[in-house]
Amino acid sequence: MNFDDFKMMNNADGSFNKVLVEPAELCVVLSYLKNNAEFAFDRLNTIIAVDLGVEVGKFELIYDLHSIETGKTARISVIIDRNSPHIPSVVEIFKSAYFDECEIYDMFGIVFDKNSDLKRLLMPQSWIGYPLRKDYVQNDERLAWND
Amino acid sequence: MMKGWLGMTNQSSTKMKINIGPQHPSTHGVLRLVLELDGEIIKSCEPVIGYLHRGMEKMAENRTYLQYLPTVDRIDYLGGFFDAYAFCDAVENLAQIELTKRTKYIRILTMEMNRLSSHLLWLGTFLLDMGATSPLFYTFRDREEILSLFEELTGQRMMYNYYTFGGVRHDVSNIWLRKVAEFVKKMPKKIKDYENIITDNPIFVTRTKDIGVISKHAALQYSITGPNLRASGINVDYRKQNPYLVYDKLDFEVPTAENGDSFDRYALRIAEMRECLKIISQCVAWLKVNPEEVISSVKQPMLKVPEGEFISNVEAPRGVCSCYVKSDGTGRPYRVKWRTGSYYAVQILPKLLENSIYPDLMAIFGSLDVILPEVDR
């Protein structure tokens, strides 16, 4: 993994730069960026999930990191397959990721491997479907509540 | 045999599960906590959220940018200007809309007044949660003055819908600015009054000192931001670190505390109120002498945002409020994601409450300044 991209990254001027990372490498990259004094991205601001559409067949996850000392931000983008949405959990590295991962599971149905207590967070536990997917049928409440 | 709480032996103690909320006066909305108690000691706590979920992120995908704008004030109803600014900022950056300088000053002025009113409400309700009734009336009296000023400016007391893409809805008048200046003049004495009642009050101090301590490490691990983070001794403020609008031209301090306990979070917010007043008076002085156009020339209902994505970070009263907007070039956002401070403050609750006693629950939870619409969105 080449970390030069992160050194060059500067989002202060209002641009949105992100570095593409393979799902298998995600945990290694995150813990390197967190623990290496050169970067010290010690706070995970949030995880953003985006459904890229049924035709594309991919989900995108953006990990938004912030360095307390320098104020710099880094964004890691991970693309995963829509049909078998699996990605390693990062709760071990950043505890704050637990709610984020549960919410993304709730809204997109993305499964975070090794997250021991993955559950729906905002929607009722009995909810059927994943609301923020682009192919979700809205106003189908009858179906969702009377299972 | 070891004696436990209230002289009960460990053998005879049985664990009890109780629910607090979702309808409970001091949970500031609809937070539900499932507690496991051993006598009076909290053994574990599980926050259950989602009772106020309105699908703000899904709503965005079905509405045009202008149709979505009034709804974002409802994400944090005590700090509506911050959410509206975060969304406007993201859209303005994507659509390359420039702001006039006066617009920027008006936005800062309204946001800082909003921060002050939000902190005032927090102060009153925090003390009320702990059993002190009178501070609520004092703080609501002063908050009411800010709300009246907002009502005069925007027509609304809480959900303002005042910002537009590239501007604000009405210019501020000199008469209104004079009223703000009068308000700012009498506020320091009021803040002094609060401190006289509260800061040295032995009951308050014993109930909050060394209670609910968030260490630096834990604060970063749990992504705590805003006043809660600064109370733990980490000096991070997006207004200083990545200045947006014209914060770099204004003179203000970022107060920090050291211990990260409930008392420090109280003291820090009081200090922040004073800084708000400083910023407000600087903005008022600037606005009085610099007339400029503030009504946006952008055609709002037809606004088409070019393809792209942007994340805007705003230092809101309850921590960093981030708004991610992805556009596919049409008149509706492709995806909007909100990141709010309270969401992460709720997540740290189980860690803070573990092995503390039940009466401390409100002294800890209240001091975090959690507001539930922001958590559930």
Taking only the tens place, the pLDDT of each residue in B152-203 is: 999 888 888 899 988 888 888 899 999 999 999 999 999 998 888 888 888 8
Question: In the predicted model, what is the mean pLDDT of residues B82-103?
Answer: 90
CA distance A122 to chain B (A): 4
Question: What are the structural domains, with CATH classification, of chain A?
Answer: 4-136 (3.30.460.80)
What is the pTM (predicted TM-score) of this model?
0.88
Answer yes or no: is pLDDT of B8 > 70: no
The CA distance from A43 to the nearest CA of chain B, in Å, is 6
Q: What angle do CA B265, B268, B272 make, to 5 degrees?
A: 135
Which residue from B50, B320, B334 is facing A123, i.e. has the nearest CB? B50
pLDDT at B4: 47
Show me where the domains of chain B are located. 64-376
Interface confidence (ipTM) of the complex: 0.85
* Cβ neighbours of A132 in B, within 8 Å: 57-58, 335
Rg (CA), chain B: 22
Count CA within 13 A, CB hemisphere, residue B33: 25
Q: What is the C-alpha to C-alpha distance for residues B110 and B172, in angstroms, rounded to an integer?
A: 10
Beta strands in B114-192 (DSSP E): 163-164, 167-168
Helix (H) or strand (E) holding B206: helix B202-208
| Smallest Cα distance from A77 to chain B, Å | 13
Tell me which of A99, A107, A117, A137 to substitute to probe the interface with B (most B C-beta atoms closer than 10 Å).
A99
Q: B372 and B140 in contact (C-beta within 8 Å)?
A: no
Tell me if chain A has a CB within 8 Å of the CB of B228: no
Per CB-CB distance under 8 Å, the chain A contacts of B50 are 120-124
Q: Is B335–A51 a contact, with Cβ atoms under 8 angstroms apart? A: yes
Q: Count of CB atoms within 10 A of residue A113's CB?
A: 10
B322 — contact with chain A (CB < 8 Å)?
A: yes
Contact between chains at A131 and B55 (C-beta distance less than 8 A): yes
Cβ pair B236, B256 in contact under 8 A: no
At residue A48, the pLDDT reads 92
Q: Assess whether pLDDT exceeds 50 at residue B111.
A: yes
pLDDT, one tens digit per residue, over B32-44 is 888 888 888 888 8
Print pLDDT tens along chain A (147 aa): 666 666 666 555 556 778 888 888 888 888 888 888 778 888 898 999 999 988 888 899 999 888 888 888 888 899 999 888 889 998 888 888 999 999 999 999 899 888 788 888 888 888 878 888 888 877 666 665 665
Instruction: Inspect the interface and report whether the beta carbons of A132 and B241 lie closer than 8 Å.
Output: no
Q: Chain B closest CA to A52's CA: distance in Å?
A: 9
B344, B346, B372, best to mutate vs chain A, most A CBs in 10 Å = B344
User: pLDDT tens-digit profile of B247-259?
Assistant: 888 888 889 888 8
For residue B95, the chain A residues in CB contact (below 8 A) are: none
Beta carbons within 8 Å of A11's beta carbon, 6+ residues apart: A17, A72, A73, A75
Query: What pLDDT is stored for residue A2 in this prediction?
Result: 64
Mean pLDDT of B214-220: 89
Give the CATH number of domain B64-376; options: 2.40.10.10, 1.10.645.10, 2.60.40.2550, 1.10.3720.10: 1.10.645.10
Neighbour-count burial of B13, counting CB atoms closer than 10 A to its CB (0-12 exposed, 13-18 middle, 19+ buried): middle
pLDDT of residue B85 exceeding 80, the answer is yes
The string of pLDDT tens digits covering residues A20-37 is: 888 888 888 888 888 887
